[in-house]
Amino acid sequence: MADTQSRTAPETGSPSSPGITRRRLLGTAGATGAALGVAGAGAGYAVAASNTPEQPAALASLGSEAVMFHGKHQPGITTPMQASGHLVAFDLTAGAGRKEAAALLRRWSATAERLMAGEPSPSDDTDVARDAGPSSLTVTFGFGHSFFARTGLTAQRPAALDPLPDFFSDHLDKARSNGDLWVQIGADDSLVAFHALRALQKDAAGAAKVRWQMNGFNRSPGATARPLTTRNLMGQIDGTNNPKPAEADFDRRIFVPASGSPAWMANGSYVVVRRIRMLLDDWEKQSRTAQEAVIGRKKSTGAPLSGGDETTEPDLEKTDARGDLVVPINAHARISRPDQNGGAAMLRRPFSFHDGFDADGAPDAGLLFVCWQADPLRGFVPVQRKLDRGDALSSFIRHEASGLFAVPGGAREGGYVGQELLEG
């Protein structure tokens, strides 16, 4: 996949103290992981200070990874999960149309290309990330349903971008939903992510204004002894059944084919974004056994309650000594499975969020749910409809904002994202 190809920056460090790439870091994780885990944060500085080939600077590689901006697909879709993210929607300003939108996407693409390479923004850089590497930064652009009327391109609006249906569990804030334009920013360093956010916002001046913004986070790469599926704020492993790029039908499920319609969406994808509040006070009152029954998986390993490990196919017919289903009939893992939804599949790539506390002290926290598919009417919609009708998890979450965006294929060298639409 084009957006999984990465370019590693030169190793850092003095000539006598070379830095370390992520590949070298992973190769030495077994030898150094235990010591780093015990010593804690101070060990990072100690290792860096005495950097030798035998004792490499373990943290130096975190910022060196770079993802290519140009390619068949936009970055940030199959790119590995990043530690920090921003989701932002913009509305075109009064009087701005197709010409202004094209100029904006041209500016945004030029800025994203430079920042993803670890270079300063093309104009008036803030210096926030001056001493940082690319840190796996990705920037992804999409168009909302309203964009096409604003730019006189209604005839080019895809049928797949029709508004999502209403769901019973929705409690949506319209001010934090939808939008003309959508931007996803991800990076392994929070300052690098913010630097990109600020640069793109400044680029938009006069053409578009922020409609809403959401900030998220994940576990930092290298924080665990071995790579693991991410955990959400409920403590559950989240993403076990994600489609894998190596699977034969991955592209068919996630990306619009090159021969797809409309032509400007070739090699693109559709993203559904949902702000899902987790009612953590209620959830944390449940016993671990009760929590596992809601999900249908072990909290510790992500293994199905019917046995095995995280990747074991659950036995949905297995019963216990009393004759009860081991994986409850309303368990989230059962209801959301592709084979329980006519094969519907989507690539989930979320961020967690925490935006403070309510007046009663309840955390305003949860999941910025981001899922990718070739057609949301065959991906997200049938799964959400089924979850809406009987998912045990519904009692502990609330959908508070929603958006659907068309994300075109990647920009060619010298071009910009959306060029085929805006200049076609």
Q: Are 169 and 394 in contact (CB under 8 A)?
A: yes
Is 17 within 8 Å of 51 (Cβ atoms)? Answer: yes
Q: What is the DSSP string of 301-355?
A: T--BTTSS-TTSPP-TT-B-TTS-BSS-TT-HHHHT-GGGTTT---EE--EEEEE
Phi then psi dihedrals of residue 206, to 5 deg: 90, -20
Amino acid letter for position 32: T
Residue for token pair 């991906």: 379
The answer to whether 81 touches 230, Cβ cutoff 8 Å, is yes
The answer to whether 100 and 192 have CB atoms below 8 angstroms apart is no
Other beta carbons within 10 Å of 256 = 28
Report whether the peptide linkage leading into residue 122 is cis, meaning its omega lies within 30 degrees of zero: no
- 3-class DSSP state for residue 402? strand
Asked whether 333 and 302 are in contact (CB, 8 A), the reply is no
For residues 241 and 274, give the distance between their C-alpha atoms in angstroms, rounded to a whole number. Answer: 19
Cα Rg of the chain, angstroms: 22
Alpha-carbon distance values, 65 to 1, 7, 20, 208, 344 (Å): 17, 6, 11, 31, 33
How many Å apart are CA 113 and CA 412, to the nearest integer? 11
Catalytic machinery residues? 238
Q: Enter the tokens of residue 349.
A: 């790539």
Pairing of strands 65-67, 6-8: antiparallel
**Tokens at residue 10, please?**
């030169």
- Beta bridge partner(s), residue 398: 277
Q: How many CB atoms lie within 10 A of CB 339?
A: 11
CA 108 vs. chain centroid, Å, equals 19
Q: What is the DSSP letter of 237?
A: B
